[in-house]
Chain A
């Protein structure tokens, strides 16, 4: 074996090892979902009689589809809302920057450094007083605000990568700002916008802190659904795993289908 093939082999092995470490917990969780409760707490084993009992029981205890619908509405709703706010913001920051643009961007990002629990009480009280507790509207608003800094940042970097000349050419051709955005900016940065949107959907889908604290039954998304299976009566590993598998399945499939788009978007600037 030559040096370079040995190197390639080594790198390949490392990549597989990392992938395995990342994937293993998910794999194990999926496996546990098909076990009986007794098998689930027995010595770890790959060989066991598979059963769908846990899934059936889980579905009996709580309506999966209600939670799933909430998740879909809240994560997609908040993403659309965030994009609607972020696109104009990122446009003005990327193309009409002022002395304070960099500062504003940093400040926006710094809000993400704050532990959410720090603002739990004020937000809870606000929601209680405005009747937003346990509503999909309320959760959508929180998720929008939660993801807005990241969405603005990502769009800002994508927009900044667009040659300014193209927009100026558009202006020379008679485009007003809206036409400039609609005919030129959006189509040209679509991969970036799409991957930003996808990331926002995934972050919202997986968000647990706010959904657990601000919803109970009506607006509870899938994260709350999983949590409801770790109950005071004890941990039921098989059921918890079955519920978790069902909760992550849609977003996993979604992520897998849009993988190409994601990668293209995230490397948009680099390969142009």
Chain B
């Protein structure tokens, strides 16, 4: 039960400012993911919320109460660290019960609470072990258990899955999502992995160089990136960009000339464009398809057959384009192929790298992981 508000948070280390005025609202029970390349300030922002760093200026509010000057423990938050940060000299049970011990809670009550958390995470068998006798995934669960025991108003996760191998990461991702539903808690999660962000978030906050680039639901960010950075960061493989030249615009969109010379009308708002403006067209690899009559062409440079799909890296003279094609295509490296796309799937970016606003909203932009959940189980939880 908690909301969080950040108001013009700034963090400076000496001369360098790593957070340049961040405003953010986190709603109750929301799963918010901070995502961005390394050095974008996402971890610092999380540490400021946790109270491990102080903000140079700006306010942090939890349930509308300013908490800037309150110590980390009194904020009622719990944090799961990237390195897990388990206490190596304590057993799993002592690790999980440490906060309760410091709070002066009796041994019996402590045990009850630890057991309850251990049950949620299937850790009962491991309570007597020391961290070094645990696998990476188990350590991760203990770290989460330690957070659960504190019954925090907000959970903070600092890249919690980045030390796990790929298979375990997928499993923990699912487990975290399940935990979020089960605990009904507000969670803030930091990652550099956009897949984690897309799969777990109700709301994604894309950060770059200490500034918020865009805040929105995963589908919103995917279908309506506000600028070239967000467009390139969200989605995998990353979006293709190609220079196009502006021809004209009307109420149905902006018409541009593609690299091959063909003309294409993209349904975006071009009202503010000047004639001759430099534009960049962005199109996701999964939205490009091989098509004998397609407007684009190039030579296949590399092919990656994944079975279900094939990634084609196509050399188009001035740029390399990725295309996700069918798994069973019979083209070979060196072949020249033609391909095209649905204009409504394309994005246009102006010289300032800002996206031209789409004329049609994608119908799924309001969908979040939580609403997915509701769709499966109409009676709610």
Does B102 lie within 8 Å of A184, measured CB to CB?
Answer: no
| Residue in B closest to A99 when the chains form the complex, CB atoms | B14
In residues 82-131 of chain B, which contact A (Cβ within 8 Å)? 82-83, 85-89, 98-99, 102-103
Contacts of B347 in A (CB 8 A): none
Does B73 lie within 8 Å of A175, measured CB to CB?
Answer: yes
Does A172 lie within 8 Å of B102, measured CB to CB?
Answer: no
In residues 157-209 of chain A, which contact B (Cβ within 8 Å)? 163, 165-166, 168-175, 179, 183-184, 187-188
Does A172 lie within 8 Å of B89, measured CB to CB?
Answer: no
| Residue in A closest to B83 when the chains form the complex, CB atoms | A165
**CB within 8 Å: A-B pair count:** 56
Q: Which of A171, A174, A175, A179 has the most CB of B within 10 A?
A: A174
Does B73 lie within 8 Å of A172, measured CB to CB?
Answer: yes
Does B102 lie within 8 Å of A175, measured CB to CB?
Answer: yes
Does B85 lie within 8 Å of A163, measured CB to CB?
Answer: yes
Contacts of B89 in A (CB 8 A): 187-188
Contacts of B71 in A (CB 8 A): 171
Does B85 lie within 8 Å of A168, measured CB to CB?
Answer: yes
0/1 interface trace, chain B 67-84, chain A, CB 8 Å (1 if under): 000011110011101110
Contacts of A170 in B (CB 8 A): 87, 98
Known: A172-B50, A172-B77. A166 touches B85 (CB 8 A): yes
Does A163 lie within 8 Å of B83, measured CB to CB?
Answer: yes
Q: Any chain A CB within 8 A of the CB of B11? A: no
Which of B78, B83, B86 is within 8 Å of A172, CB to CB?
Answer: B78
- Chain B contact residue count (CB 8 A cutoff): 23
Q: Which of A163, A166, A172, A175 has the most CB of B within 10 A?
A: A172
Which of A166, A172, A179 is within 8 Å of B87, CB to CB?
Answer: A166
Q: Any chain A CB within 8 A of the CB of B192? A: no
Q: Is the interface of B mostly helix, strand, loop or mixed?
A: loop
Known: A174-B73, A183-B98. A169 touches B87 (CB 8 A): yes
Does A165 lie within 8 Å of B81, measured CB to CB?
Answer: yes
Contacts of B102 in A (CB 8 A): 173-175, 179, 183
Does A171 lie within 8 Å of B73, measured CB to CB?
Answer: yes
Known: A179-B102, A183-B98. A171 touches B72 (CB 8 A): yes
Q: Any chain A CB within 8 A of the CB of B146? A: yes
| Residue in B closest to A173 when the chains form the complex, CB atoms | B99
Does A173 lie within 8 Å of B52, measured CB to CB?
Answer: no
Contacts of A163 in B (CB 8 A): 83, 85
Which of A172, A183, A187 is within 8 Å of B72, CB to CB?
Answer: A172
Q: How large is the interface on A (under 10, 10 to 19, 20 to 34, 35 or more residues)?
A: 10 to 19
CB distance from B337 to the nearest CB of A (A): 50
Does A165 lie within 8 Å of B72, measured CB to CB?
Answer: no
| Residue in A closest to B103 when the chains form the complex, CB atoms | A174
Give bound CA distance, A104 to B71, whole Å: 29
Does A174 lie within 8 Å of B99, measured CB to CB?
Answer: yes
Give bound CA distance, A174 to B87, whole Å: 14
Give bound CA distance, A183 to B73, whole Å: 16
CB distance from B104 to the nearest CB of A (A): 10
Give bound CA distance, A171 to B98, whole Å: 11
Q: Any chain A CB within 8 A of the CB of B223? A: no
Contacts of A172 in B (CB 8 A): 50, 52, 72-73, 77-79, 99
Q: Any chain A CB within 8 A of the CB of B150? A: yes
Contacts of A174 in B (CB 8 A): 73-74, 99, 102-103
CB distance from A199 to the nearest CB of B (A): 23
Does A173 lie within 8 Å of B85, measured CB to CB?
Answer: no
Which of A173, A175, A179, A187 is within 8 Å of B146, CB to CB?
Answer: A173
Contacts of A171 in B (CB 8 A): 52, 71-73
CB distance from B93 to the nearest CB of A (A): 14
Contacts of B99 in A (CB 8 A): 172-174
Give bound CA distance, A175 to B98, whole Å: 9
Chain B contact residues, CB within 8 Å of chain A: 50, 52, 71-74, 77-79, 81-83, 85-89, 98-99, 102-103, 146, 150
What are 6 sample pairs from A and B whose C-beta atoms fall under 8 A apart? A168-B85, A169-B85, A171-B71, A175-B73, A175-B102, A183-B87
The 6 closest A-B pairs by CB, nearest first: A174-B73, A165-B85, A173-B99, A169-B85, A174-B102, A165-B81
Instruction: Please give 12 more A-B residue pairs, beta carbons under 8 A apart, in addition to A169-B85, A173-B73, A179-B102.
Output: A163-B83, A165-B83, A166-B88, A168-B81, A169-B87, A172-B73, A172-B79, A173-B99, A173-B146, A174-B73, A175-B102, A188-B89
